Amino acid sequence: MKLPVIKTLARLTAMGIALAVNAAAYAQAAVSPAPAAPPAGAALAIPGALDRAFGAMHAGQGSGMTMSLQLLLIMGLLTILPSLVLMMTSFTRILVVLSILRQALGLQQSPPNQVLIGLALFLSLFVMGPTLDKVNQNAVAPYSAGTINASQAISAGGQEFHAFMIRQTRTHDLAMFADMAKAPQFQNPADVPFSILLPAFVTSELKTAFQIGFMLYLPFLVIDLVVSSVLMSLGMMMMSPTIVSLPFKLLLFVLVDGWALLMGSLVSSFG
Q: Is the dihedral of CA 166, 169, 171, 175 positive or negative?
A: negative
Q: Is 270 helix (H, G, I), strand (E, B) or coil?
A: coil
Angle between helical axes of 91-105 and 241-255 (0-180°, round to 10): 130
Q: Which of 224, 255, 230 is CA-nearest to residue 242? A: 224
pLDDT at 10: 52
pLDDT at 94: 93
pLDDT at 52: 43
Evaluate whether 205 touches 93 at the Cβ level (below 8 Å): yes
CA distances from 46 to 43, 63, 164, 177 (A): 9, 14, 37, 43
Does the structure show a pLDDT above 60 at 254? yes
Q: Which of 131, 125, 129 is CA-nearest to residue 94? A: 125
The three-point CA angle 74-77-83 to 5° equals 155
Q: Which of 130, 118, 131 is CA-nearest to residue 91? A: 118
Cα gap 205→94, rounded to integer Å: 9
Evaluate whether 131 touches 164 at the Cβ level (below 8 Å): yes
Q: How far apart are the first and last CA of the chain?
A: 18
Report DSSP letters for 168-199, one per residue: HS-HHHHHHHHHHTTPPPPSSGGG--HHHHHH
**Tens digits of per-residue pLDDT, 68-127?**
776 777 777 778 878 877 888 889 999 999 999 998 888 878 888 899 999 998 999 899
Q: How confident is the model at residue 9 (pLDDT cuts 50, 70, 90)?
A: low
Instruction: List alpha helices for the chain, DSSP H.
Output: 3-31, 48-54, 67-87, 91-105, 113-127, 129-135, 141-145, 150-168, 171-180, 194-233, 241-255, 258-268
**Tens digits of per-residue pLDDT, 29-75?**
444 444 444 444 333 343 444 444 444 443 344 444 566 776 777 77
pLDDT at 207: 93
pLDDT at 93: 92
More confident residue, 22 or 260: 260
What single-letter DSSP state applies at residue 140? Answer: I
Specify the range with the lowest mean pLDDT, choosing from 22-31, 111-120, 155-164, 225-234: 22-31
pLDDT at 181: 87
Q: Which of 86, 267, 53 is CA-nearest to residue 161? A: 86
Cα gap 70→13, rounded to integer Å: 19
Mean pLDDT of 215-239: 85
Q: Which range, 15-19, 58-62, 141-145, 261-265, has the best average confidence (pLDDT)?
A: 261-265
pLDDT at 210: 94
Instruction: Give Cα 77 distance to the centre of its chain.
Output: 15
**Tens digits of per-residue pLDDT, 170-206?**
989 998 998 998 888 888 888 888 889 999 999 999 9
What single-letter DSSP state applies at residue 110? Answer: S
pLDDT at 43: 38
Evaluate whether 3 touches 129 at the Cβ level (below 8 Å): no
Mean pLDDT of 3-17: 53
pLDDT at 15: 54
Mean pLDDT of 24-29: 44
